[in-house]
Amino acid sequence: MRQAQTRDQLWAAVRHWRRAGSRIALVPTMGNLHDGHLALVAAAREHADRVITSIYVNPAQFGAGEDFERYPRTLDQDRRQLEAARCDLVFTPGDETVYPRGLGDSTRLKAAPSLANILEGASRPGHFDGVVTVVARLFNLVGPDVAVFGEKDYQQLLVIRRMVEDLGYPLRIVPVATVRSPRGLAMSSRNRYLDNDRLGAAEQLHSQLSAAVRRLAEAPADWPAVEQETRRGLEQTGLRVDYVAIRRAEDLAEPDGKDPHVRVLAAVWCGPTRLIDNLACRLQ
């Protein structure tokens, strides 16, 4: 497996593969890899000849008081996992590579407001602006044919798809289903913050969302009531609810009763740890 930290190192590998006629897939990550990330790498291998995984903890998508400084950084372990997963190159840029003139004087993008200012965006103002800024830079540096993202961060997936459409990137976005523990907890780097006592409470998130999907399938028009019932159920397990929302899968607008595909999304606090999850629901 190749390694690159600078633009020149990355471009040398990409030029070599392009001359050989290879299709290239990019898997953007912030590291601290788990089975969910490795599923993205596996999906990337199905869609391209060469797979590049980037590892960069992007300061632009963290707000004041969030966990940027303590976000788990496990680069040596990540490299070993990627090599075992047959990744072709790991790109580990520093701030000077991603933001050559510093974050404060960098060119930034604004995410589409209709997608970026609700749910996660309402709770974390500016978060998706930071996401599209760094993802666009990675796309520009790598020039992939395919980019792979997980459905666990469903709103992020839609935001990035919109950016690709709006800016005309000639690449395909491939979504990958959420990877879960045997008890349903969505794989996340932040799960490392959970101690054994809080792990059981965190697992209730998937259980409550699953119950919401079942209720919604029986009574699609009652989605506001299902939202409230799910919120109450989560609170009764000891979780502090940020939001519970049932939205159209295509654009996160409120359902109008005619939408065949919706998503049940939630964000909760389990002690000091914030967790997000979502489930698909087919209504017709």
Active site residues: 37
Burial class (CB within 10 angstroms; exposed 0-12, middle 13-18, buried 19+) of 47: middle
Q: Report yes or no: 190 and 274 within 8 Å, Cβ to Cβ.
A: yes
**Residue 227 phi, psi (nearest 5):** -55, -50
Angle of CA points 57, 47, 24, to nearest 5°: 60
Helix axes 204-218, 223-236, angle to 10 degrees: 160
3-state helix, strand, coil in the chain (%, to 5): 45, 20, 35
Tell me if 145 sits within 8 A of 24, measured CB to CB.
Answer: yes
| Sheet order of strands, 261-270 included | 240-248, 261-270, 273-282
Q: What's the rounded Cα separation, in Å, for the pair 8 and 153?
A: 31
